[in-house]
Structure 1
Amino acid sequence: MSEKRPVMTWLTDMDGVLVREEDAIPGAAEFLRRLTESGCKFLVLTNNSIYTPRDLRARLAESGLDVPEENIWTSALATAQFLSDQRPRGSAYVVGEAGMTTALHEVGYVLTRSRPDYVVLGETRTYSFEAITTAIQLIVNGARFIATNPDSTGPSPAGPLPATGSVAALITRATGVEPYFVGKPNPLMMRNALNRIDAHSETTVMIGDRMDTDVVSGMEAGLRTVLVLTGSTTRDQVERFPYRPTRVVDSVADLVDDIVPPPPTESE
C-alpha cells in the first residue's frame, strides 16, 4: 500500500474478519489494540441489523474484543440515516428487531402501520407471516420498499438461515416492487461510514471476508480493499470474480504491522 497516500482510516467487516460465531479470530484483538494505540480512525461495519451498537459492543467484549459503541456502524444505522436524509422525520413500518427500530427512533421516525412512508425490512430471527403480510399490503397501497441488505442467508451452528434478501424476494414476488438495499454491497454504506468519521476514500482501507459485498462495495466507494481468508471466501474463489481486492491476506493478524499513526495535521 506504500505506493499510495498513507492509510489513515480503517473500515472492517465484523463476522468472518474479527469474530467467527462467538469466538474472536486469532489476531483480531491485537489488530484492534494497534488501531486504538495508533490513533487511527476506524469503524467496524456489519450488515446485521438485528442488534444496536451497544448490543454488538457487548457481544464483541464477550469474545475478548474491545470496540466502543461509536466505532460500530450497522446497516440499520445506515438505513436510518438514508431515510432521514431522503424524508426527514417520516414514518415507517418495520419488519425487524431492536437494531432497526432503535435507529429509526433516534432519527425522529414514527413507527406505524397506518399509511407509512416506507416499509423497512431488516433482519430478524423470528420472521412473522402476519408482519410480512402487512408489509405486502402496505407496499401494494403505496409505501416505498427499503431493505437493510441483500444477504440471502445468515450463518448459524445448525446451518444457513434465511436472511433479509430471501424475505425481500418473497415480498417482491407478491408485490412486483423491488426494494432499495442500503447495506453492503451498496457503496452508500461505505460513504456514510466515511462521513461519520470525517475520513477520505483515498486514505481508507476496507477489510472484509466476502468478495460480493465487502470488496465490491469498498472498491466502488474508491477505497483500497483487503480480503481476509478467515470467513466465507477461499483464495481459489477470488479468481472467479471480475474484480480483485488490493490485497489478499490470511487474516487481520497480517495487517497489524501496516497500522501506523496518521501524520500530523497542519494545525498540529
Structure 2
Amino acid sequence: MGRRDEVEAWLTDMDGVLVHENHALPGAAELLQQWEEAGTPYLVLTNNSIFTARDLSARLRASGLNVPEQRIWTSALATADFLKQQVPGGSAFVIGEAGILTALHEAGYIMTETKPDFVVVGETRNYSFEAITKAIRLIDRGARFIVTNPDATGPSPDGPLPATGAIAALITKATGREPYVVGKPNPMMFRSALNKIGAHSENTAMIGDRMDTDIVAGIEAGLHTLLVLTGISDESEIEKYPFRPDEVLSGVSELVEGD
C-alpha cells in the first residue's frame, strides 16, 4: 500500500518516534490526541519486555503523553499471545521481569522449572548465571526456546548494555538451538497487533525509526511504512538497505493535521 490517505489504523514505535530519553518528541502528544478524538484504531509498539502495558502507560504519562494501557502492545504481550495459541494453558521457565511474567500469567500459563513446554527469555537487568544454566539444561531436555525480542544491546546513560539477543546467543551457543523470536523484526508481532485492534494490513500504517526492525517488518507485514528521522536512522542509514519505506518524515509532527 502506497497512499497515506488510505490509512485507517496506525501502529507506531515508541522510543525514537514518540519519546526520546523520557521526553515527548514534537507533535507526539498532538498526534495521539488526533487519533483519540477521531476514534482511529492505533497501538504503540515496543520490543521492551521489561514493563507491563500499565507501567509503560504511566511512564509515557510522565513524559506528557496520554496513552491508555490498552493502546500499548509489547513484545511480552505478543509472546504471550503466540504461546497461548501454540499450547493453551501451557507452562514456561522464564528469564525476565514483570512485563513477560504478567503477560504469561494472564494468558493462563504456569511458571515452572519442571518440564516446561517453553523456555522464554525476555529483557531484564538481572540476568543470573544460575537462571541461564537452568535454561540451557531445560532446552537440552526438550523445552522449546522462545525469545521476546532480538535486540543484542540496550541503551543506558553509561553506554550499551547486553540485552535479550546477547543472552539468547549465549544459550544458542551452549545448546545448538536457535530460538523463535516473536518481537520486531518478526512481522508476527505486527499481525498480533492488527488482530488486537481488528485492523487489516491493507489499510494500516507503521511509523518507526529503525530500518532494520520497524520498516522491514512493516513491509513484510504488508503495511504502509513511514520512517521518522527523530531516532536511530538518518538519510545515510536508509541507503544501506535494499528496501525503502513508503515515506520518510522529519518526525511525527508532519502527521498532525493542520500543521
Give the TM-score, by structure 1 length: 0.94
Residues 219-230 of structure 1 correspond to what in structure 2 (within 5 A)? 219-230=219-230
CA root-mean-square deviation: 1.4
1:45-78 CA-partner distances (Å, limit 9, x unpaired): 0000000000000000000000001000000000
- In the alignment, is residue 35 of structure 1 matched against residue 35 of structure 2? yes
Using the alignment, how far apart are the partners of 2:6 and 2:47 within structure 1?
28
Q: Which runs of 4+ in 1 moved over 4 A?
A: 1-5
Using the alignment, how far apart are the partners of 1:221 and 1:81 within structure 2?
17
Q: 1:136 to 1:245 in 2, by over 3 A?
A: same
- Assess if the C-alpha contact under 8 Å between 1:5 and 1:202 holds in 2: no
Indicate the residue corresponding to 1:188 in structure 2: 188
Deviation larger for 5-14 or 105-114: 5-14
Using the alignment, how far apart are the partners of 1:48 and 1:122 within structure 2?
9
- Assess if the C-alpha contact under 8 Å between 1:218 and 1:225 holds in 2: yes
Indicate the residue corresponding to 2:152 in structure 1: 152
Per the TM alignment, residue 5 of structure 1 is displaced from its structure 2 partner at its CA by 6.2
Q: 1:153 to 1:60 in 2, by over 3 A?
A: same
Residues 128-139 of structure 1 correspond to what in structure 2 (within 5 A)? 128-139=128-139
Using the alignment, how far apart are the partners of 1:23 and 1:130 within structure 2?
37
Using the alignment, how far apart are the partners of 1:189 and 1:10 within structure 2?
14
- Assess if the C-alpha contact under 8 Å between 1:5 and 1:203 holds in 2: no
Q: 1:221 to 1:258 in 2, by over 3 A?
A: farther
Per the TM alignment, residue 18 of structure 1 is displaced from its structure 2 partner at its CA by 0.6
1:161-190 CA-partner distances (Å, limit 9, x unpaired): 111111100000000000000000000100
One-letter amino acid matched to 1:6: E
Indicate the residue corresponding to 1:264 in structure 2: none
Using the alignment, how far apart are the partners of 1:157 and 1:258 within structure 2?
37
Residues 68-79 of structure 1 correspond to what in structure 2 (within 5 A)? 68-79=68-79
- Assess if the C-alpha contact under 8 Å between 2:23 and 2:63 holds in 1: yes
- In the alignment, is residue 209 of structure 1 matched against residue 179 of structure 2? no
Instruction: Report the number of matched residues.
Output: 259
1:184-215 CA-partner distances (Å, limit 9, x unpaired): 00001001100111001111000000001000
- Assess if the C-alpha contact under 8 Å between 1:183 and 1:189 holds in 2: yes
Indicate the residue corresponding to 2:99 in structure 1: 99
SS at match of 2:11: strand
- Assess if the C-alpha contact under 8 Å between 1:9 and 1:199 holds in 2: yes
Show structure 1 runs of 5+ residues with no match.
Answer: 260-268
1:24-45 CA-partner distances (Å, limit 9, x unpaired): 1121111111111111110000
- In the alignment, is residue 218 of structure 1 matched against residue 218 of structure 2? yes
Identical amino acids, percent of aligned pairs: 65
